[in-house]
Homo-oligomer: A and B are copies of this chain.
Amino acid sequence: MKTFNELEEFILNGDKVYIPHFSIECVIFGYENRQLKVLLTKLLGIGWGIPSGYVKQEEMLTAAATRILNERTSIDNIFLKQFHVFGDSFYRSMQYQIDPTNYLPANSWLRQRTFSIGFYALIDCTKAKIKQDFFVEDYKWVDINEIPNDLIMDHNEIVTTALETLRNQIFHEPIGYELLPEKFTLPEIQTLYETILNKKFDRRNFPNKLLSQEIIVKLDEKRNIGQHRAPFLYTFHKDNYQNALNERVSITI
């Protein structure tokens, strides 16, 4: 929505374009400087939350999530997965929907009870060009350990559940592959697994299984990160990694 008129049209007549009663909420993860981050956007007059949108009347569900993510980040070919429907909290109850607000007409379709389908996306946040517009007045990438606890509606619950989902799926979805750059250092991959699994690994043992099963391979290439510091770079062996995921092999020790 670029203009006030577009926003007004969405509020008054959006249900001619979109299906009411459920929205899509997107938890967009990126990994940078050994920090796992989530994209937060600030909605005009409402507050900080995660990007969201509605499914168009004739649109398939995954196509809708892809469109919403693309509209917000300008990234094509995003890795995304639905992970949970949020329909059990106060914010998804009848009581919340009839709570009067200052700017929605009493009969607005946006006051109808709305469940949310959560999708998580894994992107290279250095490549994302986040779009702001009339309604989204600001954005920031926030370390998952520093998410403010006062996001709008149930967005804190949605982010927490998305993170639990990464934890549960890290050994059968290509989460490491999608979040790391093509070439990475051992500390980078170790910190990513430590962050998602929320535990520490011994630096000497961590890469053993990844290397012995050739899930990652060492490149003949280093990265200069300072005087006398030039760690070797590694990359995923895509077939071996995919086989490990198919077999749900725990790829850490």
Contacts and interface: CB of A to CB of B under 8 A. Distances in A.
Nearest to A65: B87
Nearest to A249: B250
A92 B60 contact: yes
A55 interface: yes
Given A21-B19, A22-B22, A62-B88, A57 B94 contact: yes
Given A19-B21, A168-B172, A248-B168, A87 B115 contact: no
Given A57-B94, A62-B87, A115 B22 contact: yes
Interface string A51-71: 000010110111100000000
A251 to B, nearest CB: 12
A85 B61 contact: yes
A93 B21 contact: no
Contacts of A218: none
Contacts of A172: 168
A50 interface: no
Categorize the interface residue count of chain A: 20 to 34
Contacts of A82: 84-85
Interface string A18-59: 011110000000000000000000000000000000010110
30 contacts: A19-B21, A19-B113, A21-B21, A21-B22, A22-B22, A22-B115, A57-B94, A58-B93, A58-B94, A60-B87, A60-B88, A60-B92, A61-B85, A61-B86, A61-B87, A61-B88, A61-B92, A61-B115, A62-B87, A62-B88, A82-B85, A85-B85, A85-B117, A168-B168, A168-B169, A168-B172, A168-B248, A171-B248, A248-B250, A250-B250
Those 10 A-B pairs whose CB atoms lie nearest each other, nearest first: A61-B87, A58-B94, A60-B88, A21-B21, A62-B88, A85-B117, A61-B88, A19-B21, A82-B85, A168-B172
Interface of A: 19-22, 55, 57-58, 60-63, 82, 84-88, 92-94, 113, 115, 117, 168-169, 171-172, 248, 250
Given A61-B85, A168-B168, 6 more contacts: A20-B21, A57-B94, A58-B93, A61-B88, A62-B87, A248-B250
